[in-house]
């Protein structure tokens, strides 16, 4: 068990609706990240967290917000989903920002906005 | 801007042939570099990191600061090496990993 789970695994939603994706870890790692994976773009950072209630924006943060009220959970919210947000979303965790042990990734959430 | 470039979207090789997945980076500081791999229907996982100078599954990568490269190599490709490979850069300070766009390796039997 990798110690990190994402939910839901798949979701189809309509344009304009809010959507929340959840990342849950059991490793007690300080750092958590949300990336999106798109063909031709690779992995792009949306938001990340360096502690409870401490978050910062990544390179593609527009249209997304995050919250981290406890160490184990990092939520990603699409305020009003658009078709351009159809993607696979990956959560990752690390115990240090230097990531000597590397990032551990979740299994991903495939989101389709219709 | 800090950047990671993987020039090949797709690389096809025959089984038993040598493999080289290219990665170039742009960063003025002292970088740490990683290779991550994603096999079909699996999560991304760390393959190797330059600071460890390790060989994993027969893959090696050497950091060349003069050429700002961190190419991934394997002398003899296996079918099970078929996957998506991402090069990633860690800058100094509290900043997250920056990933390249990835290269899909296809090993043909």
Domains of chain A by range and CATH? 4-109 (2.60.40.10)
Q: How many domains does chain B have?
A: 1
For residue range B1-60, list pLDDT tens digits in order: 668 999 999 999 999 999 999 999 998 888 889 999 999 988 999 999 887 777 789 999
| Chain A interface test: which of B29, B44, B56 (most A C-beta within 10 Å) | B44
Length of chain A: 114
- The pLDDT of B54-75, averaged and rounded, is 91
**Cβ <8 Å between A103 and B46:** yes
Which chain B residues are closer than 8 Å to A31 by Cβ? 96
Percent of chain A with pLDDT over 70: 94
Q: What is the pLDDT of residue B49?
A: 87
Distance from the A18 Cα atom to the nearest Cα atom in chain B, whole angstroms:
26
> What is the C-alpha separation between A75 and B50, in angstroms, rounded?
32
Q: What is the pLDDT of residue B22?
A: 97
Q: What is the pLDDT of residue A96?
A: 75
Q: What is the pLDDT of residue A95?
A: 84
DSSP letter assigned to residue B39: -
DSSP per position, A69-96: EETTEEEEEESS--GGG-EEEEEEEESS
CATH number reported for the structural domain that contains residue B10 in this entry: 2.60.40.10
Q: What is the pLDDT of residue A102?
A: 82
Distance from the A48 Cα atom to the nearest Cα atom in chain B, whole angstroms:
8
Give the range of the structural domain holding residue B48, as residue numbers without chain letter.
Answer: 3-108
Distance from the A86 Cα atom to the nearest Cα atom in chain B, whole angstroms:
18
- Quote the mean pLDDT of chain A: 93
């Amino acid at each position: 068990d990798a110690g990190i789970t994402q939910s839901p695994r798949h979701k189809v939603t309509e344009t304009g609706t809010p959507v929340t994706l959840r990342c849950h870890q059991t490793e007690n790692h300080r750092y958590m990240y949300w990336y999106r994976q798109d063909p031709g773009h690779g992995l792009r950072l949306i938001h990340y967290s360096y502690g409870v209630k401490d978050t910062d924006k990544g390179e593609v943060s527009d249209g997304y917000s995050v919250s981290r009220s406890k160490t184990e959970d990092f939520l990603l919210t699409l305020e009003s989903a658009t078709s351009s947000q159809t993607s696979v979303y990956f959560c990752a965790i690390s115990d240090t920002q230097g990531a000597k042990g590397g990032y551990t990734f979740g299994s991903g959430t495939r989101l389709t906005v219709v | 801007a800090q950047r990671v470039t993987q020039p090949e979207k797709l690389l096809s090789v025959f089984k038993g042939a040598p493999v080289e997945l290219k990665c170039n980076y742009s960063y003025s500081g002292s970088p740490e570099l990683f290779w991550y791999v994603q096999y079909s229907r699996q999560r991304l996982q760390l393959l190797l990191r330059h600071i460890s100078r390790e060989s994993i599954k027969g893959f090696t990568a050497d950091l060349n600061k003069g050429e700002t490269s961190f190419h991934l190599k394997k002398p003899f490709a296996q079918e099970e090496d078929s996957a998506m490979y991402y090069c990633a850069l860690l800058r100094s300070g509290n900043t997250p990993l920056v990933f390249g766009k990835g290269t899909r390796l296809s090993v043909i039997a």
